[in-house]
Amino acid sequence: MAEEEAPPPPMMPPREESAFPSLGWAAGGVNELFDGVTPKTLFQAQVSVRDGLTSQGMGMMQGPAAFGQVGLQYASPLGNLKADLVSQGVVNLSLDGFQPLPIMQLNTQLAFMSGMLVGGQLYSVLFTPVGVMTGGANLYGQLSGEFFTGIQPASYPGNQVMLGVHTWGMPGIFGGYKAAIEWSREVVVNDELQAQCAVTAAVTKPYLMNDGEPGTHSFTLSAYHRMSESSLLAVQVEGGAQGSVMSIGGSRQLSEAQRLKARWTTQGILGLALEQSGEKSVLSLCGEVDSTPGRPLNPKFGVTLQMSA
């Protein structure tokens, strides 16, 4: 009788990308806007079963790829305990927000398939007087480290400068770093945000590849301006080995429940999204076409539904 084959391990991330979260604050407003205009079919639901216990599910299809997840989360005294059933029969068990010390937070996750351990990672956060340090490691030997800090000049109220560096890799095989700096300014009147703007510059550089060749660097320059509660504009330039692309976008509040979002790139891609908000739900209809004269439109459509109860 043939021996049962072990299940294949989950797909590894691209070698030029970190396997861990990196500098999530950098250009956050721009990334959120552009992601909302990217066609995909997404469903998210969250239901509060009782105090401290939440059920949540998610299904997504983007192009030919599909992904689904359903699970439970319990807010325990040690942190958030999670159990999730993921596509292809993977079961994730995790503990988020465990604080062994007031200045330290640990997040752990184990992944099982067919009763076998196929993945796991440990992610730590350390709050220091000069900034936040994070570190991560997983069972595949991938390592990650990050430091970021912020400065708020007392003579310029409402202004802030954030800077940070993220590095990742596998010892002796490959790795890289990402560095970012962001200036932001907020105008607050009577505890209400009236206007907001931010400029972010980031560069990513893989420094050693599997084949021994140095990686090519890439960069992004982003600007975000919220003129009022109802309208905002954003622009981003991305450059790398394949050339540079500029994206311009914005959003406008049409009514109390409706918001229109748009994005256009120098590659000719035009995307629009109409967002309808309810008391406990958000529905977004999104479409994208190639606006370059002489080319096929190649339309793409997506629907995103988020619900809570």
CATH number of the domain where residue 302 is located: 2.40.160.10
Q: How much of the chain, in percent, has pLDDT values that exceed 70?
A: 91
Indicate the SS3 state at residue 79.
strand
Q: What is the mean pLDDT of residues 288-303?
A: 92
Residue 10: pLDDT band (50, 70, 90) is very low
Choose among 161, 244, 166: nearest CA to 200: 161
Q: Round to whole Å and give the CA distance between 301 and 93.
A: 34
Q: How far is CA 112 from the centre of its chain?
A: 24
Judge whether 6 lies within some domain.
Answer: no
- Rounded to the nearest angstrom, the gap between the alpha carbon of residue 279 and the centroid of all alpha carbons in its chain is 25
Q: Give residue 59's pLDDT.
A: 93
Count of the separate structural domains present in the chain:
1
Domain that holds residue 35: 28-308
Q: How confident is the model at residue 2 (pLDDT cuts 50, 70, 90)?
A: very low
Q: What pLDDT, on the 0 to 100 scale, is given for residue 14?
A: 58
What count of other Cβ atoms lies within 10 Å of the Cβ of residue 214?
A: 11
- Tell me if 222 is assigned to some domain: yes
SS (H, E, C) 18-59: CCCCCCCCCCHHHHHHHHCCCCCEEEEEEEEEECCEEEEEEE
Residue 4 lies in a domain: no
Give the mean model confidence (pLDDT) for residues 12-18: 62
Mean per-residue pLDDT for 90-97? 94
The pLDDT of 16-32, averaged and rounded, is 86
CA 74 to each of CA 46, 69, 108, 122, 253: distance values in angstroms, whole numbers, following the listed order:
13, 16, 15, 19, 36
**3 belongs to a structural domain:** no
pLDDT at residue 301 is higher than 90: yes
Q: Over range 204-220, report the average pLDDT.
A: 73
pLDDT at 111 over 70: yes
Report the alpha-carbon distance of residue 143 to residue 138 in Å, rounded: 7
Global pTM value? 0.83
Residue 7 clears pLDDT 60, i.e. is over it: no
Burial class (CB in 10 A: 0-12, 13-18, 19+), 183: middle
> What does the chain come to in residues?
309
Residue 13 counted as domain residue: no
| Res 221: pLDDT | 96
Q: What is the pLDDT of residues 144-194, one digit of tens each?
A: 999 999 999 888 888 999 999 999 988 777 688 899 999 999 887 777 778
Tell me the average pLDDT across 279-308.
Answer: 92
Neighbouring CB atoms inside 10 A of 139's CB total 14
Q: Establish if 60 belongs to a structural domain.
A: yes
pLDDT in tens, 40-93: 999 999 998 888 899 999 998 877 778 899 999 999 999 999 999 998 889 999
In a domain, 9, yes or no: no
Mean pLDDT of the chain: 88
pLDDT in tens, 224-272: 999 888 899 999 999 987 889 999 999 999 998 999 999 999 999 999 9
